[in-house]
Copies of this chain bind each other. A is one copy, B any other.
Amino acid sequence: MDIAVIGLGLIGGSLLRALAGAGHRVFGYDSDPATRLVARAAAAQAPGGTGWQVPDGVAQSVRPSPGQPVELAVLAVPLPAVRPVLAELVAAGYAGLVTDVTSVKGPVRELAGEYLSVPGDPPAGFVGGHPMAGRETSGFGAADPALFTGNPWALCLEEETRLPAWLTIAALVTSLGARVVPTTAQAHDRAVAAVSHVPHLLAAALAARMATDPLAATLAAGSFRDGTRVAAAAPALIASIVGGNAGPVRQALDAVLADLAGARGALSQPDPISALRPWLTPGCAARAGWPPAASAPEELPARRDALLHLGRLGGWVTGVALDRRSVSAAMPLRSEPVSPAHPGRAG
């Protein structure tokens, strides 16, 4: 395929390298001129035939030759940059497939509806996406074509999404080794609020608490180190990710706070040790059984309802057979959780 990747940070840069390495003709653009220079120099050093081109604008990236638009544009920019980039796509007359890799899907879905719809019609060529593949590092210099291998990549299948568009992008993403999770913007945003955004808030609160006592900072060990690791991420970045998903994060945070109120109650019992044990048990069982093993892939008809059902059950697509209108799909194995009797680190 001919593909444009707009935004060449860690995700966009990794995607550029992975797609070019897989034989696609790729055009990458970043609004930062220095990043474009670095990306051009890296292309020149790529093994024969696996380089990419770095035009000087969004329009030139999606329409590299007169009359020859690319088939897919990937928006790999932060949420605040999605609107201006969509406006540039429209201004360039681009009408091909569009996907994105932004951490929150509801707001991007709305923007796509606003910019990519023919009046009265849904945005036919848009499919929202989110690769779950972060790193401590960032920027094009940290880009790694293997970043997506074995990791989940949420791909939104909404009422207005055209199934052939979804399958085309799913085929591309699975060819990079990612696990495509069929979902909706609403279900995605609710899930990542619970397992990604609220953890950032808890980490920040724990780290800030440590700072009030030098003795605590000196005695802090393993449980603190891991529980606060993501708190070191830049506040501006995390605020845009978490604040961009404010509604679902509020709901998930409320649920966690209500649960912690239960722990607070247990600690006030005459025998807090006995009271706390049953409170701790569900979390232990959940974490001891995570991540679950995967079932062997099975063939599944590439139907909207079957795909969304798969995603709701925690399953994912490992490959797409476009000619047979089917996918291969795997599921988390409902094994008994690994025995919670192994004590783990209490540090």
Contacts and interface: CB of A to CB of B under 8 A. Distances in A.
Interface of A: 103, 132-136, 138, 151-152, 154, 179, 181, 183, 187-188, 190-192, 194-196, 198-224, 226-244, 246, 249-250, 252-257, 259-261, 263-264, 266-268, 271-288, 290-292, 311-316, 332, 338, 340-347
A190 B214 CA distance: 12
Contact of A284 (B231, B243, B342): B231
B340 A221 contact: no
Number of copies: 2
A125 to B, nearest CB: 25
Contacts of A285: 211
A15 to B, nearest CB: 16
Given A235-B277, A267-B249, A287 B207 contact: yes
A223 B231 CA distance: 10
A231 to B, nearest CB: 4
A332 to B, nearest CB: 6
Contacts of A194: 206, 209-210, 212-213, 216
A254 B209 CA distance: 11
B220 A263 contact: no
B187 A282 contact: no
B260 A264 contact: no
7 contacts: A135-B345, A136-B342, A181-B219, A195-B217, A199-B224, A208-B286, A243-B266
Contacts of A202: 202, 206, 227, 256, 260
A285 B199 CA distance: 17
A217 to B, nearest CB: 6
A215 to B, nearest CB: 5
B223 A226 contact: no
A241 B346 contact: yes
A230 B235 CA distance: 25
Given A230-B227, A312-B214, A347-B196, A132 B332 contact: no
Contacts of A250: 264, 267-268
A315 B199 contact: no
Given A219-B181, A243-B272, A253-B267, A206 B198 contact: yes
A332 B214 CA distance: 9
Contact of A218 (B134, B228, B315): B315
Nearest 7 A/B pairs, CB to CB: A134-B347, A233-B344, A214-B314, A204-B283, A243-B273, A211-B286, A243-B272
A300 to B, nearest CB: 16
Contact of A253 (B243, B264, B315): B264
A239 B204 contact: no
